[in-house]
Amino acid sequence: MKRLLALLAACVTALGLTGLLGPQAVAGPRAVAAAGCRVDYTVTSQWQGGFQAGVKITNLGAPVSGWTLTFALPDASQKIVQGWNATWSQSGSAVTATALDWNRTLATGAAADLGFTGSFTGANPKPTAFALNGVACTGSVEEPPPTTPGDGTPVGVNGRLHVCGVHLCNQYNRPVQLRGMSTHGIQWFSKCYNTASLDALAKDWKSDLLRIAMYVQEDGYETDPAGFTGRVNGLVDMAEARGMYAVIDFHTLTPGDPNYNLDRAKTFFASVAARNAGKKNVIYEIANEPNGVSWTAVKSYAEQVIPVIRAADPDAVIIVGTRGWSSLGVSDGSNESEVVNNPVNATNIMYAFHFYAASHKDAYRAAVSRAASQLPLFVSEFGTVSATGGGTLDRASTTAWLDLLDQLKISYANWTYSDAPESSAAFRPGTCDGGDYSSSGVLTESGTLLKSRISTPDSFPTS
């Protein structure tokens, strides 16, 4: 049950979306910030000899098309190890971060979220002398308070999640349902995931989660493991800063046997689990849609990847894909009994179920209804249209599905928070070239329906 990838691949060239995650720096800026900028610098975590920092730049001057941020590291031992959302370099104490193609434009008042990991042996003071295109950032250099319990955000209220029985439960050991959106492939639609769009997702859509779809093939992770790992980590940080959960999706699709990517999965999850182990907002999805393969093979893959995550992050929730494009085997003529009778040998896990409302109806809903009393389920991807990602929105079937998931307290992420040229997309084509991600003028029929469902109050239990 998947999108028309061949069509999308053709559209990549037509829309000029190639090379969004490449390491190339943009040639010199064409405009200069005339009235300065603001920088919010946050040390998000620190350990012996190392730290991770987020840098949010807000342009307070004229619109910028192409930018370079510079700053100084006050301690001689401080070194940039790895950065994301920019091309990073360091010479002595001077650090330079240059825009990538997808975030090179900063309108007046617009912001870009960057980040890096660093090392140090002495003190770890804040950087100084921030400048955007050579103009000093005097708006502020401040460290905003971290998300804390009680701040009203999904993560602030619920804290670190865990599986209890067949439910996803919060820090109060009460069942919760998360409702949110999935990105499209970040190699194609990276420009859709920026400060403005994630602000809109958190504040206007009131989304509980962002699923980060990192394709492994289709010009994805296998082409640039370090670059894609950095981009995923950057989006995790952006979700965390807004109090949303982040589902890290290892988006395997073709070939359908996840064991083909077993070594890649171990490498990727060892890295992201070690880096994000201290966060409360991370959920790992280890295989998107296994297809053309037995449940036994999927289970074997899961039982080899899960220990890699657990070695670094022993407490996080892990979502395991199921047979038949994560349909619990229904799309292959089977049913949930194969998982019920032969579950993955691991704890604190959930099983993925995916559906597309116009293609998957009563038989699929019946399987979910039966399985929900025996298995912890997470609908990590669904669409309002056909399994191709196109066609007409099926409002009746979508409503029946969402009502069922609400009733069973099953969490979900909709495909997709993007402006892809397909009817499953939440935004009309071209939306991600602007800054509006919420008004009726930019939403598709699917986006309008999902925003209305997601933005209703969560009423998370706290006692």
| Amino acid in the structure at residue 146 | P
Q: Please say whether the beta carbons of 16 and 189 come within 8 A.
A: no
Q: What is the dihedral of CA 427, 199, 416, 217, to 10 degrees?
A: 120
Q: Are 247 and 285 within 8 A, CB to CB?
A: yes
Strand locations in 99-165 (E): 105-106, 111-119, 128-132, 135-136, 141-142, 162-164
Query: Among the options 218, 285, 381, 422, which is catalytic?
Result: 381
* Nearest-10 Cα torsion for 20, 320, 211, 16: 20
Spatial neighbors of 6 by CB under 8 A, at least 6 apart, are none
The single residue listed with the structure tokens 């800026």 is 29
Classify residue 301 as left (phi > 0), alpha (psi -120 to 50) or beta: alpha
285 noted as active-site residue: no
Q: Which amino acid is at 154?
A: P
**Other C-beta atoms within 10 Å of 125: how many?**
11
* Separation between Cα atoms, residue 416 and residue 389, nearest integer Å: 9
List of residues 6+ apart from 403 with CB closer than 8 A: none
381 noted as active-site residue = yes
> What tokens does 128 get?
């100084």
> Out of 289, 336, 338, 422, which one is annotated catalytic?
289
CB-based burial, 3-20: b 16+ in 10 Å, e otherwise: bbbeebeebbeebebeeb
Cβ pair 189, 17 in contact under 8 A: yes
- Going by DSSP bridges, is the β-strand pair 105-106/64-65 parallel, antiparallel, or unpaired? antiparallel
Query: CA 439, CA 94: separation in Å to the nearest integer?
Result: 42
Residue 296 φ/ψ, nearest 5 degrees? -60, -40
The one-letter code for the residue type at 412 is Y
Phi, psi of 424 (to 5 degrees): -75, -15
Which residues are marked as active site?
A: 289, 381
